[in-house]
Amino acid sequence: MLKTKSQIATAIAIFFHAIGLIGMFINKDFFVSLTAINLLLMLGLLIYTQKKISTGFVLFFVCCFVTGVAVEIIGVNTGNLFGDYTYSKMLGVSFKNVPLIIGVNWFIIMYCCGILVHTILGEISLKLQQMTRMPVPALKVISIISDGAMVAVLFDWIMEPAAVKLGYWKWLGDGDIPSYNYLSWLGVSTILMAAFALLKFDKQNIFAINLLLTMATFFMLIRTFL
């Protein structure tokens, strides 16, 4: 049943990202205006494929949403953390100059990156136990936090130039993405990955991995060809 759900969700995600990719080359402003709807659809698919909606899962969503919006408010209104940038009004309802859908985006990225790393570590945990005296659970927590944060930063590196091309946000000044944007992403991602690792909820979701790869491919194609 879970495999079927994952297959259905993956097909839907690929279809909508493919349509969006084609649409960006035809009528960019219109399809950019649908971004919030697409993110809500992807959130719905993640919930649909989650084995159990436990308290830990809900708490992780809240943690990502609140933290994501909070750091973006600080970033947009002070120029600290990520640099000087502003969001487009095309991303929907905003609070303190930050579209609320950005909180959903933070959750999707952190959840998918966490699931990817958790799944990979599950495959190699026995080998790690043979190589070190450290208990596997402790080693997995450390690895999920560090590796998950690095994967999130890599995803942001792929996404940033594409997002600027699409007009999701723009960097002020010379328009270049400051290097400390990625350092701040690493710091925030580390905190959220710690929450992912420590909160108890089911962390087996193949669709989350497929979605991460789909989004990364989408942004890579946009930054390369648009």
**Which pLDDT tens digits describe the chain residue by residue (226 residues)?**
667 999 999 999 999 999 999 999 999 999 999 999 999 999 999 999 999 999 999 999 999 999 999 999 999 999 999 999 999 999 999 999 999 999 999 999 999 999 999 998 876 665 666 666 555 567 778 889 999 999 999 999 999 999 999 999 999 988 899 999 999 999 999 999 999 999 999 999 999 999 999 999 999 999 999 9
> Of 17, 3, 195, which is closest to residue 113 (Cα–Cα)?
195
Pairing of strands 98-99, 169-171: unpaired
pTM value is: 0.94
Task: Report the largest interatomic distance among the alpha carbons of the chain, rounded to a whole angstrom.
Answer: 57
pLDDT of residue 130: 63
Q: Which helix (H) or strand (E) holds 105?
A: helix 101-131
The domain total for the chain is: 1
For residue 49, count other CB atoms closer than 10 A to its CB. 23
What tokens were used for 5?
A: 């759900």
pLDDT of residue 121: 84
> Of 167, 158, 219, 208, which is closest to residue 34 (Cα–Cα)?
167
Identify the domain containing residue 115 by its residue range: 2-225
